[in-house]
Amino acid sequence: MIIKGVLAVSIIALSTLTGYLISLNYEIRIKQLTAFIYSIKVMETEMSYSKNFLMDIIKKLSLNNEKIVSYFYKNMADFLDRSYGEDFSTIWCASADISLEASALSGTDKKIIKDFGKNLGKMDMKNQQKIFDYFYKRFELQLEEAINEKIKKSRVYKNLGVAAGVMVVVVLI
């Protein structure tokens, strides 16, 4: 009887944890998107006011940032250091492919991040500003979608985890 009880509790705990972990991804995606948006705001300020070089900005962004975003910029700085003379957007995309693989970002989020790098540093500040404005809008839409998804699906997965665990226990016991 005691064994059955322990087993039941374990099953419920495990399925609840699974549901919680799945729901957590939605929260992490919001965090990562927010961190990325913040990082490009810092980038814009550094570019327009300080006229700092992109490499220095990227190095700065690799510190004190959300883990995945930091990792992305760190890789970017390393790749750039080794690949001067190559196309910037190719280096940016390669860094995104490697660094964001394990992130909670959606395919569309990653595509927008890659697109963002295509014209970075290649134009004067006025046009660069337009690029920033355009991507802020795209990222804001992604963030909005991520928040809605979290509201809708996060609770569903949490409840589903608990319910699935209870159901398995009922069926088995």
Partner 1 sequence: MNNNIEYVFSRFPEGVKKALFLMPDYVKSSIEEIRIKVHGPLVIYASGKEYILDSENKFSVDNNNSRLISKEELMNIFNSVLNYSVYAYEEELSNGYVTIQGGHRVGICGKAVLEGGKVKTIKNISSLNIRRSREIIGISEKIIQYIFRDSKSIYNTLIVSPPKCGKTTLLRDVIRNLSEKGFKIGVVDERSEIAGMFEGKAQNDLGSRTDILDGCPKEKGIIMMIRSMAPDIIATDEIGKEEDVYAVESALNAGINLITTIHGYSYEDLENSNIKKLIRQRIFKRIIFLSNIPATGSVKTIVNECNKIII
- Output 12 or 80, the one with its CB closest to partner 1: 80
**Quick check: 154 and 22 in contact, CB under 8 A?**
no
**64 phi-psi bin (left φ>0, alpha ψ -120 to 50, beta other):** left
Site for partner 1 contains 121 (CB under 8 A): yes
**Quick check: 171 and 48 in contact, CB under 8 A?**
no
Site for partner 1 contains 80 (CB under 8 A): yes
**Quick check: 132 and 36 in contact, CB under 8 A?**
no
Site string for partner 1, 81-100 (x = CB under 8 A): ---xxxxx------------
List 1, 51, 63, 170, residue binding partner 1 (CB under 8 A) = 51
C-alpha closest to that of 117 among 99, 141, 104? 99
Residues of the shown chain interacting with partner 1 in the complex, contacts defined by CB under 8 A: 47-48, 51-55, 80, 84-88, 120-125, 128
